[in-house]
Structures are given as structure tokens and as C-alpha cells.
Amino acid sequence: MSKLIELFRVSPFEPLREHLAKVMECVGYLKPMLEAARDGDYAKLDQLTKEVFRVEHEADIIKDEIRQTIPKTFFLPVFRGDLLGYLKLQDDMADAVEDVAVVLMLKKLTLPSALHEGLFTYADKVLWVCDKTLEVSDYIQKVVDSGFHADEVTRVGDLVSTVEKAEWESDRMEFELSKSMFAIEDQMKPTDIFLWSKVFEEMGDVANAAEKAADRIRRMLTVH
């Protein structure tokens, strides 16, 4: 019997948690990649992006196995379709990090020092959104074990509201960072402006997927 089937017998959420752990490992490379790009350490950036590709592939393997083995006959405390939808959103987080890695490796990008602080403030907010979504995910089993007690469900709702606010703040940071970049566009190559814009956008997609994943959890747990 596969490890994932064993996990499903414990809880339908355990395999999803294993997948999310791999996704968060992928997310953990986001800031080091940006630091390497900032420092012009392209050898390190190459090494980091290869790690992102490796970890994202491992996450895909877990995702595919979950899709193939997720119980169709076992009793599930939530709808199977909701579990698969949630899995897809977790996968979107890793995919967006991989997209950042791809863009950073297209050419040797440079970023004016005037944008460094804004970039890393934005990155920290994106990572905070992901960390809070992980916290929401960790709370799922407690809600199920409580029999979907109203107090526990309310706690999840409060956590998700925190995630939603943080994701909105990250959107604002992306907008302000882009404005700051275009304010000094004469100091940058057009290709660098285009590619950094893509990096900012993909970072936003990481936070957006995390926020949607948290919201999907809330919807799964509040239908009871």
C-alpha cells in the first residue's frame, strides 16, 4: 500500500499537508533567488533555480499521486471536488515560484539599488501570506476533530480574513514597486524593466494562489 493511501486512512488532509510542505519548500527559495539576482551572483542563482525546478517536480509527483489515489469510496468529511480544487491552488503556488525562477534566468538582470528595499518588503509580504495559509491548513484537522464546532470554524474564518488582508497589501506593494521602477526607467534597460515586471507579477501570483487556497479551506469547512 502506498504511503499516500496510508495517509488517507489517517485523514484525507494528511496527503494534502505533505504536498503543501513540498510547496512551501519551493516557496522558501523565492527570497534567496531575489537576493542572488540583486547581488549579481548568477552562479548561485543558477544553483537556486535548479533546486526550485527539482522541488517543484517533486511536488508535482505528489500532486499526481494524490489525484490518482484520493479515495472515491472512503468517507470524506468534505467534498472530494473541494479537496482537488484546494490541491490545484497549492500547486499554483509552486508553479508561480518556478515561473519566477524561469524569468530570473532568462538574462543577467540588474536592479537599481533604489528598488532593493521595495522589492524585499514586497517579498516578505508574499512569504507572510504563504506562511499564514500554511497556518490555516494546519488548522483543518482540528476543525474536523471538533465536529466542525462553530468556534473552531470561526477561528479559521478569522485566519483567512488575515490572509486576505495581507494579500491585498501585497497587491498594493506590487503596484508601488512597479511605479517606483517606471519612475527611474531611464536608468534601466527596457528588457530588464519588462522582465522585472514579470517577476513582480509572478510573485503576486504566489500570494494570490495562497490566498485562494486559504479561502477554499474556509469554504470547505463552512458548508457544514
Task: Report residue 139 as a C-alpha cell.
Answer: 488548522
Decide which of 217 and 164 is more confident. 164
Q: What pLDDT was estimated at residue 183?
A: 97
d(CA 69, CA 146): 26
pLDDT above 70: residue 73: no
Q: What pLDDT was estimated at residue 195?
A: 97
pLDDT in tens, 37-54: 999 999 999 999 999 999
Closest CA to 72 of 30, 16, 12: 12
d(CA 75, CA 83): 13
d(CA 146, CA 111): 50
Domain boundaries, the chain: 3-222
Question: Which residues, 6+ apart, have CB-to-CB distance to 122 below 8 Å?
Answer: 170, 173, 174, 177, 200, 203
Q: What pLDDT was estimated at residue 223?
A: 55
| Number of helices and strands in the chain (H, E) | 9, 0
Q: What is the mean pLDDT of residues 89-110?
A: 96
Q: What pLDDT was estimated at residue 156?
A: 75
pLDDT above 50: residue 109: yes
Does domain 3-222 fall under CATH 2.10.10.90? My reply is no
Question: One-letter amino acid identity for 219?
Answer: R
Q: What pLDDT was estimated at residue 37?
A: 96
pLDDT above 50: residue 4: no
pTM score: 0.89
Rounded to the nearest 10 degrees, the angle between the axes of helix 30-39 and helix 190-222 is 170
